[in-house]
A and B are shown apart, each in its own frame.
Chain A
Amino acid sequence: MSKKVVLGMFAVVLVLTLLFSLTACGEKKVPAPDEAKQTEPSQKEVVINFPSIWVGKDSKANVFGSFVKEFNEKNAGKIKVVVEEMADYQAYRDKMKTNIAAGTVPDVFSFNNAKDSVLYYKSGNLMDLTPHMNGGWKEDFIADALKEVTYQDKIMAMPYEFAVTPLMYNKRLLDKAGVAEFPKTMDAFIEMAEKLKGQGVMAASQMTGENGWFSMLWYSHLLVAHGGPDVFDRGLDDPAFLEAAKSLKKLFQYTTGDAVGAGAAVAGGHFLSEKTAILVNGPWFIGRIEKEAAEGMYEQVNVAPAPTVAGGKGKQGYYVGFIQSSLAAAKQKDKAKEDAVAAFFKYISTPENVKRLSLDSGSLFVIKFKTDENDKMSHIQKQMIEQSSSAPSITKHFNAAMDTAVVTEFPQALSGMILGEFTPEQFVEQLKQKAAQ
């Protein structure tokens, strides 16, 4: 084949490729079937697409599935919610992020309230729920929860699942070590840790693998203990970040030898097999304690707020809690569809339904509901609700409050500090560098 022909062929292919890519980059969008008819009032059934993570083995799958079924039956012929099952949380997050960036937001979706969710609100692709909430619906919610999803005075999502992450302790192990009462101060905590160590038990499960979850929660508690509930408002320059780092480093003296590099499965497993006496985690772990813990341990697990520190600003009984998930919807031009989405949100957030979901799954919610003595509830969950209700403050955790780059660096900086690579000062500096990058 002559050189000329090859070059000609190359040119044709290049032009085709460029044309293809330029078309793909263009602003013009083929209207979705729903958008095409947006000017006409909807006569036929409104279909709401909902990619959901509350499916399969998720603790909420059973009751949430019933909600969708009941709602569809109640609105037969008018509204239909179609669930797209997505059991992989990370894949779900990535997909939603891509959809929002591309402007192809699903009708309804859920997300966790990390600091970066503000990017979703900024995208301008989400439905403003304010007009619907103003009709009295918002009275059902804990007021602070609505603040979390408000951007430029607009309620951009419906806060839903709530979680607290207190200290879950194994009373059986504490009794063996001669500790009658769970310590309220850090000094007493260290004293208890020494006693436990004497019994061959480590005080707390820690980890620096994955996202360092359990240790990140410990750090969050210690931050509040040192800096008070508004510690995150003051940023990484606040001395509390350094003091909490020093306290956390000390706590690593009372954990298992594999804590550096351990993931949640390993560190959580140590608590379940009674190698450690304390685990900081949320209500979703209750089911695992019930099913997988050492024999007779479940009844012995109790909940306590984290200890305070001498001279710290955190008041006795403080809690770390956060909105675990919220639901948002795509901006709709079809009023009927917008109303249908709002109706679905209202249905799944009625106090009665949320109570059903909470009692069945063990999860907590930002929608207020009442329980009575006949309600079957785990004693661990009950303690969490009682203690969080009377907590002087509930502060979000470190990962929810900080920039994603800082969150990603946390386990690396922590392992460096524990292994002596960094001083606590350098640990904080490492986080600051990532925040500034």
Chain B
Amino acid sequence: MAFVYKKKKTNVRLGKNKGEKYIVATSNQGRVTDAELKEFIQRNSTLSEQDVSLLYRSLATIIEENINLGMGVNLKNLGVFSPNFRTKGSASVEEVTTDNIEKVVVNFRPATKLRDAIDNAPVQETRKFKLKHE
């Protein structure tokens, strides 16, 4: 199976090439849920569903606690979760306050293994496709 894309019509409003354009976009192939993940792990180990749930909850709590400290969390083959924020600039250092912060976010930086796997994933066009105007 491959990474599937679809063709999409869009309206480009910024830049030199404005107007109606066509781009490739990801085609929704569905989503794996917690229940499926837990079932897979249960089937391949001696762990119960409660054990796996508890592990995920502990992991999320650890990430939250570290974010509260301004610290990231490195999950080896998955990647690094770290806090970051969007901020407005000020003309002088005295004007810089925490009110300049517009939004706090969690950045996810994928691990090399994950990034390479995605970069090298086979890509194909979806077979079921029809542009809206056709």
Decide whether A and B are members of one complex: no
